[in-house]
Chain A
Amino acid sequence: MKGALVVFFAGFGVMAQVTVAPLFPLDAAVADLGLLVIVFTALLAGPKATMWTVPLIALFLGFSTSRAPGLLLLAYLPFLPLAYGLGETGMPLNRYLRTLLAALATGLWARGLLGTAAFVQGAQFAPGDLIGAILLPGLVLDALLVTLLYIPCRLAGRTGRSLSLRRTGWVT
């Protein structure tokens, strides 16, 4: 059942990414709904489900677009270790800030990697546009969407699961 839900949400996230996200761009950046599905799978279903969600999102997004699934997998790879690492470093960050920071860093990495790949594949080299029109607006979109979706989860009492592979259950 949990596996079917993971596949469903991954598929839904990818379909929304290629149909809904391009309709609401901010400058040249669009929301990364694939990343959003990964973030909320980690929060609501825990690390093991996220370990399956990441390659599924990459594979489905690779099928839906003309991009290499391997590249997309590398783009989304840092979220889980980063979110876990931020929790273990002892920094005075609550769960929302840890999630937000990990999501923003992964979004930055993903857009940077995909932009660099586009340069390598023949797009005109434009680092100024990459930073000003894609990375910065992308950060704003990611921050906005993570916050907008985190609030209802928080109000519903779902503060998120631990990302440690040793611990299970809800953290209070």
Chain B
Amino acid sequence: MVIFQRYTWWVAAMVGLAVLLTAASQVGVLSPFQGVFLTVTSPFERLLSGTFRPVASLLSGAGDTSSLQEENNRLRLQVETLQVQNVTLQQAADRVKDLEEALKLTEGRPDEVRVAANIVHRDASPFTDVVVIDRGTSSGVKVGQVVISAQGTLMGTVTKATPGQAFVRLISDSKSKIASEDLQTKASGVIQGTANRGIAFELAQAEVKVGDNIVTSALTGRFPAGIPIGKVTEVTGTPQDLFRTVKVESLVRLATATTVLVITSFVPQDVGAAP
């Protein structure tokens, strides 16, 4: 075949190298080199991100001024509503605290330890949404730990950690599956990433409606219960359908987030795994 006449030896060598690299990465031989590479490149990556992020924001907003104004007005109203709700909830929280003290109960997660980290870069290859953060094993970050936004919304889990950096699989990654529940109807399901980096709530024969809040469930032992994930934005099918398509919008903008918190005090347990 003419294509391979002059490149046969090179193609063969590269296929051999590919096999070798795959084996080396499987046994972790490349991890130290990876750590060094990430440490060396992260300052340059911050520079590139810092330069192009405002350009991307400008471009995405340029053709969308009227809808941004509408969104701004809507958000102002929402902020006001939430501030009113916040006052009411604060009063309720104080009351709950008083009652807990009276009954000698403790609050949900008083001893939760979090490590703040910056997103350095992102792998957005097909069906993948993984970010690299600038905290690693030397800061107490370990594989399996839960990552949330600065406001407390679930963002993903740590899949790999080097001394200085860690890889975080976002909830919008197609391989991400998170046991979760509808806060209003208590319907259990799985939050899964979609191809276009969105999220969907997979559940069978249960009541769910637009506007419902989805939170994590402690069912698999991999997440603390009750971490907010997002709001239901679209539901197709009826409660009698075996599987319904439920689109969920994350409470945090996953594509533009720059700071995250890693919950280092939570030890994930793989309840479903074989002993």
B199 CB, nearest partner CB in chain A, Å = 12
Given contacts A15-B44, A23-B56, A66-B130, contact A121 B124 (CB under 8 A): no
Q: How many positions in chain A have a CB within 8 Å of any CB in the partner chain?
A: 59
B2 lies within 8 A of A124 (CB): no
Closest to B26 in A: A68
Q: Which residues of B contact A18 (CB under 8 A)?
A: 45, 121-123, 132
Q: How far is the CB of A28 from chain B (nearest CB, A)?
A: 4
B52, A68: Cβ atoms under 8 Å? no
- Residues of B153-185 at the interface with A, using a CB-CB cut-off of 8 Å, are 159-160, 167, 169, 173-175, 177
On whether the beta carbons of A77 and B37 are closer than 8 Å, the reply is no
Chain A contact residues, majority secondary structure = helix
Cα distance, A83 to B143, chains bound together (Å): 42
Residues of B within 8 Å of A55, CB to CB, are 14, 17
Least CB distance from A116 to B in Å reads 9
Q: Which B residues touch A89, using CB under 8 A?
A: 2
* Complex CA–CA separation, A126 to B245 (angstroms): 14
Selected interface stretch from B64-72, B78-86, B189-197, B208-216 = B189-197
Contact with B along A78-117 (1 / 0, CB 8 A): 0011101100110000000000000000000001001100
Which residues from A are CB-within-8-Å of B92? Answer: none
Q: Tell yes or no: A151 within 8 A of B by CB.
A: no
Interface size class of B (residues with CB under 8 A): 35 or more
Query: Of the candidates B30, B125, B132, B173, which one forms a contact with A69 in the assembled complex, judged by CB atoms under 8 Å apart?
Result: B30
B37's contact among A23, A63, A70, A130, by CB below 8 Å, is which? A63
A166 within 8 A of B: yes
One digit per residue, 1 when the CB lies within 8 angstroms of any chain B CB and 0 when it does not, for chain A 6-22 equals 00000100111011111
Q: Complex formed: what's the CA distance from A83 to B66 in Å? A: 46
A-B contact number at CB 8 A = 168
Given contacts A69-B21, A70-B20, A123-B175, contact A133 B159 (CB under 8 A): no
Judged by a CB distance under 8 angstroms, whether A58 is at the interface is yes
- Kindly report which residue of chain B lies nearest to residue A85, judged by CB atoms: B3
CA distance A115 to B174 in the complex (A): 10
Interface residue? A45 (CB, 8 A): no
Closest-CB distance, A17 to chain B (whole angstroms): 9
B137 to chain A: closest CB distance in Å?
15
Does the CB pair B196–A118 fall under 8 Å? Answer: no
Query: Which A residues are in CB contact (< 8 Å) with B253?
Result: none
Contact A51 B6 (CB under 8 A): no
CB-based nearest A residue for B6: A165
Any chain B CB within 8 A of the CB of A170? no
Name the 3 nearest CB pairs between A and B, nearest first. A85-B3, A70-B22, A129-B195
* Interface positions of A (Cβ within 8 A of B): 11, 14-16, 18-25, 27-30, 51, 54-55, 58-60, 62-71, 73-74, 77, 80-82, 84-85, 88-89, 111, 114-115, 118-119, 121-124, 126, 129-130, 133-134, 164-166
Q: Which residues of B contact A (CB under 8 A)?
A: 2-4, 6-7, 10-11, 14-15, 17-23, 25-26, 30, 33-34, 37-38, 41, 44-45, 48-49, 52-53, 55-56, 59, 121-128, 130, 132, 159-160, 167, 169, 173-175, 177, 192-197, 255
